[in-house]
A and B are shown apart, each in its own frame.
Chain A
Amino acid sequence: MREVYFTAAIAEALAEEMAADETVIVLGEDVVTGPIGGTKGLYDRFGPARVRNTPITEQMIVGSCVGAAATGLRPVADLMFASFMYLAMDQLGNQAGRLRYMSGGQIKLPIVFMAGAGPGGGLAAQHSESPHPLLMQLCGLKVVMPSTPADARGLMLASIRDPNPVAYLIDLAVTGTKGPIPDGAGAIPLGSADVKRDGSDVTVVALGSLVPLALQVAAELEGEGISAEIVDPRSLVPLDWPTIARSIKKTGALVVADPARRTCGAAAEMLSRAVEECWDDLRTQPRRVTWPDVPIPFSPPLEEAVTVTAADLRSAVVAAARSRRVTV
């Protein structure tokens, strides 16, 4: 067991795969220095042919990964901030997410698009996006969002090995965290949720940085007699719905904590699905805790007002735990 920082865990996974497979390359904006940290040290170890600084041209970074992946490489692109994916929407939506399907399954695109997502603290509306709902909607891409260093490492290994394009979102609020990585830990399959805490009164599905927040809230509520079960889906496409449904069956209540805007979010999808598929197991309406439908503002009190806080999550969990469906 070792204690490793979140981004160091990502860099470790990249180095492991680059050493094991010479077709894995890393490219993107400033990957040589790696300001967020996921690519730190790779250039010194693997050199300029396989660790390539690109111009600040997001559609070319994403689009060239498509061409490279179709012809034998397994590129990992670092887009730095997930907000910048919007510059590459044609390449993500019309190319990366479409070529396999349009070609009748001829083309295989093993690519990882990694980027820092969500508010990183005072970065404002153009560096704080968390576009996982949009990416889920596109179809054709897989979407991953780890919450711990161990998951970050294991999911990165799986994402690189996956024969499909994977958007690997690094919630910027957890990049500075440190956590244990078990000895001999391997890849974590995409589509395998992790129950981070067992509970009996309410299921809390949390994503990214809201997982540690939910664990903190759950620990506090324990003293008030509320037992919350925390489920981390870890990937949104594919989504391990059976694990979530099993938890709902056990607790009868669902709260989804999603670090993204409310409309058509991952939480909206999970609430719909819970209503459609788990209606008889729910004793109260499913609830969601999200950002409101505004961009992320700059000033710290405004940023805090928009993002999900422990108080927001706590009140939703308490309400869910104490509600009873009234049938007539």
Chain B
Amino acid sequence: MTGPFDDDDGKVMTVPTMDADATVTGTWLFEHMTRIRRFEEAVERLHKRGVIPGAAHLYIGEEAVAVGVCSVLRDDDKITSTHRGHGHLIAKGAEVHLMMAEIFGRRDGYCKGKGGSMHICDVSLGILGANGIVGGGIAIATGSALSDLVLGRDRVTVCFFGDGAANQGVLHEALNLSSVWKLPVIYVCENNQYNEWTPSSEVTAGRIADRATAFGVPGIAIDGNDVTEVREIAASAVARARGGGGPTLIEARTYRQRGHEEGEEAYGAPARPAEEVSLWVSRDPLERLRAHLIDGAGVAPSALDAIDERERERIAEAVRFAEASPLPGAEEALEDLYAVEEA
């Protein structure tokens, strides 16, 4: 069968070879993609058990986008994230135990239990927050880039959003403004092919990447399941932004291996075609990276297994930390609304 991206004529499956010097980088990429995968698997399991309250939107299958992009960012660069944000946060350096505690609704979580899965935030790492509104980070990322422009800082901001958000009007406002002002921002659309449960193709006209053209912004569609391609394209967009060249729109084509949210079977959410799911599982970004590292860069499988083992233990430790963290006290619901006046 053909994938949904017929306009690429198979381009999504092209596999750039790894750079010769890429072993160290490749290990870093593998480590972070594995961390995300194991984190999400733990969330899936714990949500099923009823340990995690509320909604959980998993990033399994899309790890190459967050990790590829964040691998070319500096610590002082910034990102905005989405309701499906665990992967972006981990890729930007967030601590998994503080994330897990937040998802558990515990006091030691990143947001003291006030945010949950959809609102995790670590400003000190340049993570301006996951955002529960589809497209919610787009204007914020644009404003963050405005700060850098006005204050003369050579930082960039990456705005992650999905194919659903690409249909929000705010994206067009952002492409227009960032183009006019040459803002150092990179809009990364993760096209995982579904707007919640609706196939993107039913509700989306044309190619998302092409939308940039109307604003004089470079737009490029790439294989979002190939971390090396993501990394390469992101690096050039970041260099362009940092050098004053303005914004880029990257449409990273990928696939959400899980449903829109965990537990959706309970209310009869539509299942996706089994052959479609299995096609994309066969293009799994983590498996592809593993194969590249072993076959292309000569990394020993045992070395990768050791990384995987470490990450599993890291996630298990994060779960233990979250379980041990106290629930917030009722009085804390009234805290943190307003910042205290400065002297």
The smallest beta-carbon distance between A105 and chain B, in angstroms, is 4
- A59→B139 contact, CB < 8 A: yes
Provide the bound-state CA to CA distance between A281 and B181, in Å.
58
Residue of A at shortest CB range from B111? Answer: A104
Give B127-151 as 1s and 0s: 1 = Cβ < 8 Å from A's Cβ atoms. 0110111001011111111111011
Provide the bound-state CA to CA distance between A95 and B173, in Å.
17
Residue A173, interface by CB 8 Å: no
Given A71-B144, A100-B339: A107 in contact with B139 (beta carbons within 8 A): no
- A105→B140 contact, CB < 8 A: no
Give B112-128 as 1s and 0s: 1 = Cβ < 8 Å from A's Cβ atoms. 11110001011100001
Which among B59-67, B307-315, B330-338 touches the partner chain?
B330-338
Residue B78, interface by CB 8 Å: yes
**Which residues in B have their C-beta under 8 angstroms from that of A50?**
150
**Which residues in B have their C-beta under 8 angstroms from that of A104?**
109-115, 121, 336
- B335→A105 contact, CB < 8 A: yes
Q: Which of A49, A95, A139 has the most CB of B within 10 A?
A: A95
A-B contact count, CB below 8 Å? 148
The smallest beta-carbon distance between A327 and chain B, in angstroms, is 37
Residue B325, interface by CB 8 Å: no
Residue B342, interface by CB 8 Å: yes
- B133→A161 contact, CB < 8 A: no
Residue of B at shortest CB range from A191? Answer: B341
**Which residues in A have their C-beta under 8 angstroms from that of B181?**
52
Count how many chain A residues have C-beta atoms less than 8 Å from C-beta atoms of the other chain.
46
Provide the bound-state CA to CA distance between A139 and B338, in Å.
9
**Which residues in A have their C-beta under 8 angstroms from that of B148?**
71
**Partner among A25, A101, A102 whose Cβ is within 8 Å of the Cβ of B150:** A25
Residue of A at shortest CB range from B135? Answer: A90
The smallest beta-carbon distance between B249 and chain A, in angstroms, is 16
- 10 tightest A-B contacts by CB? A63-B139, A67-B143, A64-B143, A104-B111, A105-B336, A67-B140, A104-B112, A163-B339, A60-B173, A68-B143
- B176→A57 contact, CB < 8 A: yes
Residue of B at shortest CB range from A163? Answer: B339
8 chain-A/chain-B pairs, Cβ below 8 angstroms: A54-B177, A57-B177, A66-B139, A67-B141, A69-B143, A72-B151, A91-B139, A104-B110
The smallest beta-carbon distance between B331 and chain A, in angstroms, is 14
What would 20 more interface pairs be, CB under 8 Å, given A67-B157, A69-B143, A71-B78? A60-B142, A60-B174, A60-B177, A63-B138, A66-B143, A67-B139, A68-B144, A71-B128, A73-B147, A95-B133, A103-B110, A103-B121, A104-B112, A104-B113, A106-B110, A106-B111, A107-B123, A139-B337, A163-B342, A164-B338
CB interface residues, A 21-49, toward B, < 8 Å: 23, 25, 49
- B339→A63 contact, CB < 8 A: no
Residue B303, interface by CB 8 Å: no
Interface residues of B (CB under 8 A from A): 78, 80, 109-115, 119, 121-123, 128-129, 131-133, 136, 138-148, 150-151, 157, 169-170, 173-174, 176-177, 180-181, 335-342
Residue A108, interface by CB 8 Å: yes
Residue A239, interface by CB 8 Å: no
Residue A278, interface by CB 8 Å: no
**Partner among A54, A99, A139, A162 whose Cβ is within 8 Å of the Cβ of B129:** A99
Given A67-B128, A102-B115: A95 in contact with B136 (beta carbons within 8 A): yes
Given A57-B176, A67-B143, A90-B133: A103 in contact with B115 (beta carbons within 8 A): yes
- A107→B129 contact, CB < 8 A: yes
- B176→A55 contact, CB < 8 A: yes
- A106→B133 contact, CB < 8 A: no
The smallest beta-carbon distance between B102 and chain A, in angstroms, is 8
Residue of B at shortest CB range from A70? Answer: B128
The smallest beta-carbon distance between A309 and chain B, in angstroms, is 36
**Which residues in B have their C-beta under 8 angstroms from that of A105?**
112, 335-336, 339
**Which residues in B have their C-beta under 8 angstroms from that of A139?**
337
